Structures are given as C-alpha cells and as structure tokens.
C-alpha cells in the first residue's frame, strides 16, 4: 500500500502530541480519524488545519475507555475509508501528587483513561487492523525517570508497555507491528500545567541536547513506526533527547 491508501486512527488527536501526529501522517498521505474526548473546539481547529492541506479526515468524539464508543469509531473509519491500517493511542491524562496523599478517585480516572483506554482501543485495533499495519501506543520516559509525584501516571504507563510487548507476540503471523513510544518531557499544555518556571527550566536542562522536547520531536518517530519501520516490533522507543 502507498500512504495514500492507508488509514490511521489517532486517539487524543485534537491537541498536543496527538495533533502533531495527525498533521505528520496527513502530510505523508494518510486518511485520518481524529478522536477527541470532549473539546470540540480543539477538534474543529484540527479539522480546519487538515482541510487546509487537503487531507482526507473525519473527527470522532469517543471516550477511549468505553468499548462501545470505540467500536463505533472503528466502524466509522471502515465506512468512510474502507479499513484501518494504523492506530495510534495518544489520549491520556497526567495527574500529579505524592502516592501517600493521592485521592483514589484520581488514581481510578488515570487508570481508566491511560490504561483501560489504551487497552480498549488496542483490542479493537488487534481485531481490525489490516495486514501490513501498525499499532502504536504511548507510554512515558517517567517509567525510567521515577520522578516523585507521578506514581499513578507511571503505573498506568508501565501497564501500557507490558500490554504492548505481549500483544506484539500474540499477533504472530498477522504482519502487524506493535510498539510503544515513550516521550520524555514535552512542552505541551498537559505537561506544563501546574509547573513553575524554575521547575520547567530544570527539567529542560536535563537532556544532553539542552532543551525541552516539542511535539515535532515525537511525531516523526510515530510516523516511522507507522510506515517504514517494519522491523521494529514489540519495542519501547524512548524519545527524550538522551535524558536517560
């Protein structure tokens, strides 16, 4: 298949890293399903940008942890474009707080969105992605940094990594790759929220490259795994500028 015939679903595709992934895949010729949770304004802005470059795309509102909504999203992709070749799980939340004080409702929401959501979407992807396709999950380098305050987030992302490695082996013979991208700190609203300038400057200085990552650092890695990187399978790719 040429990229002009390939179809990608990107969850959390209306903002942050997800939006940049959508833009990158669109520029490479993919047809897109842009998933969003509840911010229709961001989704509309993303769709307008895609229309501006002549991309084939639809948006679809769905809670990634709701199996019926996710199934309907895959149905919509198949109706509109004939099938699905690439699924990128970018939807997520990032609560912070010491484990000892963390409200268990926050833990439950983190697990629901970041782990259950990735599981539900990946389950549909495993059933529906066509041969030659790719499933790409998103973890975080926080699983290696072990930075205080991220216990719930890191626990969910560690589960995503384990799920990815197992699924890659379960799909033996299907010609579908399954990988996880684990970014380090990326200067998105999700990461920067609640951090003061001193904290941001300290984190930005950690990588040998001497700066905070941006979504444009991550999207090409996802696009590589979605297409030409066929011999990378069952791996966690750490994208953090060398901070670990």
Give the active site residues. 153
* 179 touches 233 (CB < 8 A): yes
DSSP 213: B
Instruction: Compute the distance between CA of residue 132 and CA of residue 126 in angstroms, rounded to an integer.
Output: 12
Question: Six-digit token pair at 137?
Answer: 């999950």
* φ and ψ of 58, to 5 deg: -130, 155
* 135 touches 87 (CB < 8 A): yes
Instruction: Compute the distance between CA of residue 25 and CA of residue 53 in angstroms, rounded to an integer.
Output: 12
What does the CA dihedral 113, 117, 118, 123 come to, rounded to 10 degrees?
Answer: 170
Three-state secondary structure string covering 133-149: CEEEEECCCHHHHCCCC
The neighbour count for residue 54, using CB atoms within 10 Å, is 8
The neighbour count for residue 137, using CB atoms within 10 Å, is 26
Cα–Cα distance list, 63 to 121, 149, 166, 214, 218 (Å): 10, 26, 24, 26, 24
Instruction: Compute the distance between CA of residue 62 and CA of residue 149 in angstroms, rounded to an integer.
Output: 29
Question: Six-digit token pair at 125?
Answer: 């992807």
């Amino acid at each position: 298949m040429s990229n002009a015939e390939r179809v990608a679903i990107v969850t959390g595709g209306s903002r942050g890293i997800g939006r940049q992934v959508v833009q990158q895949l669109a520029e490479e010729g993919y047809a897109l399903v842009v998933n969003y949770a509840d911010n229709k304004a961001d989704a509309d802005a993303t769709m307008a940008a895609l229309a501006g470059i002549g991309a084939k795309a639809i948006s679809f509102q769905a809670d990634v942890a709701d199996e019926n909504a996710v199934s309907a999203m895959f149905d919509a992709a198949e109706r509109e474009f004939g099938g699905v070749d690439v699924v990128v799980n970018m939807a997520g939340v990032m609560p912070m707080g010491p484990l000892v004080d963390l409200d268990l409702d926050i833990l439950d929401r983190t697990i629901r969105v970041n782990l259950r959501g990735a599981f539900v979407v990946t389950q549909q992807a495993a059933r529906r992605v066509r041969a030659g396709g790719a499933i790409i999950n998103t973890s975080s380098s926080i699983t290696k940094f072990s930075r205080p305050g991220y216990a719930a987030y890191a626990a969910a992302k560690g589960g995503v990594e384990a799920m990815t490695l197992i699924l890659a082996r379960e799909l033996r013979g299907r010609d579908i790759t399954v990988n996880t991208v684990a970014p380090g700190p990326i200067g998105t609203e999700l990461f920067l929220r609640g951090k003061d300038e001193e904290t941001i400057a300290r984190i930005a200085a950690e990588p040998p490259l001497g700066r905070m990552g941006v979504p444009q650092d991550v999207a090409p890695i996802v696009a590589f795994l979605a297409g030409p990187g066929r011999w990378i399978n069952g791996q966690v790719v750490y994208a953090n500028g060398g901070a670990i």
